[in-house]
Structure 1
């Protein structure tokens, strides 16, 4: 009986640590977002019409495919500039590269942003590392965005 009770307790603690770990990742992502992204994309990822697109309700949809996850990782590593369509609106802007931040922080912020849409997706430090290993210039980023949009329309 004691052995069974200890096994159940150990299993419960392991489950809690997994849940706590993902909750902590979301918290870390929220902090990274608040410090680095909210100035432009605003608190809660609601964006600023005509200047900075909303991220809430969009990032989870983009991250739903492997190509979308790769694109998001490329954006935070390489930045993005030029005209884009997002959420039915046009934007001509500049998103700087955040390649100076650690892979874990960038993965945490992207994973956090997916939670704002209600369908959490996991973006890993390995996803960021893959993007970091293949830097892209502005035209390459726009070509990647256009290809992704043709295959899986970007909201």
Structure 2
């Protein structure tokens, strides 16, 4: 029994190590690519993800929670592709801002990497992952910033957004 138990423990340890390596590789990929693209395209306004109270909404700790539903994932892709105009109410704070669309400036892979990176900055497990194919499907249906704001209001009524 001792030999079988030792062998089983060894197999389990090996499986856990492989899973950990795979998870770290995914986080590193999203972390490096996504962070670089976030910093270049989004960080100037959203800063380190905390935004500016009353001016620019925070994204850290929110993207993962919004992306927990299929409708939330779709909404987040719409925000990056099409932009968003305020006013918005987030955690009791009113924001009245205008986020530009990145449809013409970022590829599907770049948008997916930014959103996947931001999803790693929250507590949701498993971490939501965005794919270039998902972004391409949403890119095929352009929206106005007003339509994205309406989508947010409808989604917030169904699944309150953080």
User: What's the TM-score, normalizing by structure 1?
Assistant: 0.85
User: RMSD of the TM alignment (CA)?
Assistant: 2.0
Residue 102 of structure 1: how far off its partner (Å): 0.9
Give runs of ≥4 in structure 1 deviating > 6 Å.
none
Q: Distance in 1 between matches of 2:36 and 2:43?
A: 10
- What corresponds to 1:4 in structure 2? none
Residue 28 of structure 1: how far off its partner (Å): 0.6
- What corresponds to 2:160 in structure 1? 153
Q: 1:52-71 residue pairs with structure 2 within 5 A?
A: 52-71=56-75
- What corresponds to 1:33 in structure 2? 38
Q: Distance in 1 between matches of 2:88 and 2:30?
A: 30
1:69/1:127 contact within 8 Å kept: no
1:54/1:87 contact within 8 Å kept: no
- What corresponds to 2:3 in structure 1? none
Where does structure 1 lack aligned partners over 5 or more consecutive residues? Answer: 1-7
- What corresponds to 2:143 in structure 1? 136
- What corresponds to 2:89 in structure 1? 85
User: What's the TM-score, normalizing by structure 2?
Assistant: 0.81
Which secondary structure state, in structure 1, belongs to the residue aligned with residue 112 of structure 2?
Answer: helix
Name the count of aligned residue pairs. 145
Q: Distance in 2 between matches of 1:128 and 1:87?
A: 27
